[in-house]
Chains A and B, each alone.
Chain A
Amino acid sequence: MARSWRRSRSRAAAALALALLAGTVASAHRRDEYLQASRIAIGPDRVGIELDLTPGISVADRILADIDADRSGSIGDEEAQLYVSRVAGALSVDVDGAPLAVHVTGSAFPAVEAMRNGEGTIRIAMTAPMPALAGGVHRLHYRNTHRQELSAYLANALVPDSDRVAIGSQDRDVEQRDLVVEYRLRGETVFAVSLWPALAAGLALAGLAVVCRRSINLLA
């Protein structure tokens, strides 16, 4: 997995270089794109994902057609839920190659008119529980393939809330569909780490006290 990612990353870097030379990045315009911005919050026991989806004015009708299945001109609760499920289904998250189950925890849809004007943002919050991980370096791979043919992506790791997690690096493909975050997970807690030496020292002192007491008794 890691090797294939490195390979794809090399290809991506080359593609970006070509794109920059050709000036295609500059010629693209967000009005023609479906902006999908992901922010990834890595914690010791879960990954939080915030995904904001903003269709540009030129593609808004296509996205609305995807959502508004009954063509009523409005977005019903069931239609919203179906769409959110479809988006979540296009995401994948794994840690050290082990896939995580992504659960939707909330979503909000803008007014249809705002979306038609290319300025409405759909917000989806998700979470993925982590398996128990040993302390050390881990790699989280996030991938978003929803509506690849017309989307622009942003994917960023947030500064972790927990001081047990420290982000090392972030690697992406050119389009930011893929994000690999290398991070270091520290042990359970500082207290837990220091508990064993403290216990060992305590036991040693207690043992020493017993030996000393016996020695004193013998001398007496």
Chain B
Amino acid sequence: MRNLFLALLALLGLTFGPARHETQQRGTPGAASEATTRIVAAARGVLTSLDDAGRAKVQFAFDDAAQRTRWSNLPTGIFPRQGLRLGDLTAAQRAAVMTLLEAALSANGYRKVNEIMRGDEMLRTTGGRPGGGAPPRGGPPGGGRGGGPTFGTDEYYLAFLGTPSPTTPWMLQFGGHHLAINLTLAGTQASMTPSLPAAQPATYMFEGKEIRPLGRENDTAFALINALDASQRSQAILNSRVADLVLGPGQDGKTIQPEGIRASALSSAQQTMLLDIVREWAGIVNDAFAAPRMAEIRANLTQTYFAWSGPTTNGSAAYFRVQGPTLVIEYAPQGSVDHIHTIYRDPTNDYGAKLASK
């Protein structure tokens, strides 16, 4: 009898245990409301840390269409940003910005953003080569302003479109070379599309550890393509080379015809692997907003496609795309495994179009 009671307790523990409870909590309006409160408080903390000139730099109107689309994979110099430049901030102001990012993003998203920025610092100092060397052409040693491309952690910009608020829509924009985060918040709802996490170098050493900012994106995708049988692969693999992002910066509002294998043709385990890939982008944002976003993507899973171009051995440069009714993810190596561009979009809700219109 006692054993039966313990077994029942164990079953209840498995069903309603901490992990599941945590996931449910993260997706609730309560969790979202709490997250919004923390993000808004952190945004106000940034504003408080600035003087009038700084506040004028960071603040844009919510309907400023030019600023909304002023993001790119390109370095500053080639693609000038506007907003608050990290390199112009005091240590305390910079810490306030990073506190805001930590509040707005998940732990994994915050890690990713930091690693992308640190990688760009490495590009500035070594030209992306482990042994050092000249920076990319046009980039003055150590970076410069107003001329060619400029690299490094100082060259990232923060902007607010609209006033940070727990109720009315506003947008947090953060980015620079190889990074664009466009997070629209509207009360308890959020959209983090379009966003562009990219990396060069894609692998580097930092404090004795190997860092791969987009390593899980790469590895989960190779795991899925290698889990497909021959017939599935023939549907997933495109017979052409895909040299770059199709829906990268500047391609707002466009939807290409989906290609590849439809998720309805995948086994349950393979569908889970596909969701693992998607989570690497959808999970950049705070968990409270990532959970409903993943639920939405899961609900559309049977109408979602996975397409691949390139070799299927991990360690090779291969392009892939995941596309569904509310989702576009592209992963495009720029000719080598050490320079990756990616894009994350929601064709129905880029820049929080659905949230702002409510």
Using Cβ atoms and an 8 Å threshold, which residues of chain A touch B149?
117, 119
Q: A117-B137, A119-B79, A158-B254 are in contact. Are A26 and B316 (CB under 8 A)?
A: yes
B34 at the interface (CB under 8 A from A): no
B358 at the interface (CB under 8 A from A): no
B275 at the interface (CB under 8 A from A): no
Task: Name which of B115-123, B126-134, B236-244 contacts chain A.
Answer: B236-244
* A117 touching B148, Cβ below 8 Å: yes
B311 at the interface (CB under 8 A from A): yes
With both beta carbons as reference points, the residue of chain A lying nearest to B77 in the complex is identified as: A117
With both beta carbons as reference points, the residue of chain A lying nearest to B147 in the complex is identified as: A113
B348 at the interface (CB under 8 A from A): no
Q: A20-B311, A117-B148, A156-B257 are in contact. Are A175 and B334 (CB under 8 A)?
A: no
* B243 touching A33, Cβ below 8 Å: yes
B138 at the interface (CB under 8 A from A): yes
A144 at the interface (CB under 8 A from B): no
* A154 touching B242, Cβ below 8 Å: yes
B246 at the interface (CB under 8 A from A): yes
> What is the CA–CA distance of A66 and B262 in the complex, to the nearest angstrom?
43
With both beta carbons as reference points, the residue of chain B lying nearest to A39 in the complex is identified as: B254
> What is the CA–CA distance of A58 and B310 in the complex, to the nearest angstrom?
23
Number of A-B residue pairs at CB separation under 8 A: 100
> What is the CA–CA distance of A10 and B240 in the complex, to the nearest angstrom?
12
- Contact string against A for B residues 58-97, beta-carbon threshold 8 Å, 1 for contact and 0 otherwise: 0000000000000000100011000000000000000000
With both beta carbons as reference points, the residue of chain A lying nearest to B312 in the complex is identified as: A20
B259 at the interface (CB under 8 A from A): yes
With both beta carbons as reference points, the residue of chain B lying nearest to A31 in the complex is identified as: B335
B266 at the interface (CB under 8 A from A): no
- Minimal beta-carbon separation of A118 from chain B (angstroms): 8
Q: Chain A: interface secondary structure?
A: mixed
- Contact string against B for A residues 1-42, beta-carbon threshold 8 Å, 1 for contact and 0 otherwise: 000000001001100100110010111111111010101000
With both beta carbons as reference points, the residue of chain A lying nearest to B75 in the complex is identified as: A119
> What is the CA–CA distance of A111 and B65 in the complex, to the nearest angstrom?
22
B255 at the interface (CB under 8 A from A): yes
Q: A20-B311, A25-B311, A158-B254 are in contact. Are A12 and B335 (CB under 8 A)?
A: no
Q: A23-B316, A172-B240, A176-B241 are in contact. Are A156 and B148 (CB under 8 A)?
A: no
With both beta carbons as reference points, the residue of chain A lying nearest to B74 in the complex is identified as: A119
Residue in contact with B257 in the complex, picked from A35, A118, A159, A176, CB distance below 8 Å: A159
- Minimal beta-carbon separation of A102 from chain B (angstroms): 20
Q: Which of B240, B254, B336 has most A Cβ within 10 Å?
A: B240
Q: A20-B310, A117-B149 are in contact. Are A152 and B244 (CB under 8 A)?
A: yes
> What is the CA–CA distance of A153 and B241 in the complex, to the nearest angstrom?
8
* B243 touching A152, Cβ below 8 Å: yes
* A28 touching B244, Cβ below 8 Å: no
A107-139 residues with Cβ-Cβ distance < 8 A to B are: 113-114, 116-119, 121
Using Cβ atoms and an 8 Å threshold, which residues of chain B touch A33?
243
Q: Chain B: interface secondary structure?
A: loop
> What is the CA–CA distance of A175 and B240 in the complex, to the nearest angstrom?
6
* A30 touching B74, Cβ below 8 Å: no
Using Cβ atoms and an 8 Å threshold, which residues of chain A touch B244?
30, 35, 37, 152, 154
Using Cβ atoms and an 8 Å threshold, which residues of chain B touch A26?
310-311, 316-317, 333, 335-337
Using Cβ atoms and an 8 Å threshold, which residues of chain A touch B239?
9, 12-13, 16, 171-172, 174
With both beta carbons as reference points, the residue of chain B lying nearest to A161 in the complex is identified as: B255
- Minimal beta-carbon separation of A5 from chain B (angstroms): 13
- Contact string against B for A residues 152-175, beta-carbon threshold 8 Å, 1 for contact and 0 otherwise: 111011110000000100111111
> What is the CA–CA distance of A157 and B239 in the complex, to the nearest angstrom?
16
B53 at the interface (CB under 8 A from A): no
Residue in contact with A176 in the complex, picked from B240, B255, B333, CB distance below 8 Å: B240
> What is the CA–CA distance of A171 and B240 in the complex, to the nearest angstrom?
9
A53 at the interface (CB under 8 A from B): no
> What is the CA–CA distance of A25 and B241 in the complex, to the nearest angstrom?
7
- Minimal beta-carbon separation of A117 from chain B (angstroms): 4
Using Cβ atoms and an 8 Å threshold, which residues of chain B touch A16?
239-241
Using Cβ atoms and an 8 Å threshold, which residues of chain A touch B317?
25-26
B4 at the interface (CB under 8 A from A): no
Using Cβ atoms and an 8 Å threshold, which residues of chain A touch B148?
113, 117
A84 at the interface (CB under 8 A from B): no
* B334 touching A119, Cβ below 8 Å: no
Q: Which of B244, B250, B316, B334 has most A Cβ within 10 Å?
A: B244
> What is the CA–CA distance of A118 and B139 in the complex, to the nearest angstrom?
12
Using Cβ atoms and an 8 Å threshold, which residues of chain B touch A173?
240
B269 at the interface (CB under 8 A from A): no
- Contact string against B for A residues 30-72, beta-carbon threshold 8 Å, 1 for contact and 0 otherwise: 1111010101000000000000100001000000000000000
Residues of B within 8 A of A (CB): 74, 78-79, 136-138, 148-149, 238-244, 246, 250, 254-257, 259, 310-311, 316-317, 333-337
Residues of A within 8 A of B (CB): 9, 12-13, 16, 19-20, 23, 25-33, 35, 37, 39, 52, 57, 113-114, 116-119, 121, 152-154, 156-159, 167, 170-176
| Interchain Cβ contacts under 8 Å between A and B, 27 examples | A16-B240, A16-B241, A20-B311, A23-B311, A26-B316, A27-B336, A29-B335, A32-B335, A35-B244, A37-B246, A39-B254, A52-B250, A117-B149, A119-B74, A119-B78, A119-B79, A119-B149, A152-B241, A152-B243, A154-B243, A156-B256, A157-B257, A158-B255, A158-B257, A167-B257, A171-B239, A174-B240
